[in-house]
Amino acid sequence: VLASGINAGSKKITNVADGSVATGSTDAVNGSQLYATNQQINNVSNGTTGVVQRTSATDVTTLTASG
């Protein structure tokens, strides 16, 4: 590990702890974090969950595709 990054000689880096997924974060993320994000996107895409729109301070509306 160097200040400029990690040189693992083209080998897979394993057992990476969860990194912060937030604005400004420079943490590494791992496969399970990417998988969870992809599942959330898939759920919106396939209609399992809808996009939530806040309509007021206390009310939300779930938008779903009609078909």
Taking Cα atoms as reference points, which of 38, 15, 46, 44 lies closest to residue 28? 15
CB-based burial label for 33 (10 Å; 0-12, 13-18, 19+) = middle
Phi and psi at residue 54, to the nearest 5°: -80, 120
Residuewise pLDDT in 10s, the chain (67 residues): 788 888 888 898 899 999 999 999 999 999 999 999 998 888 777 766 667 777 787 887 766 666 5
For 5, half-sphere exposure in the C-beta direction (CA atoms, 13 angstrom radius) is 5
| Cα separation, 51 vs 24, whole angstroms | 25
Record the pTM: 0.59
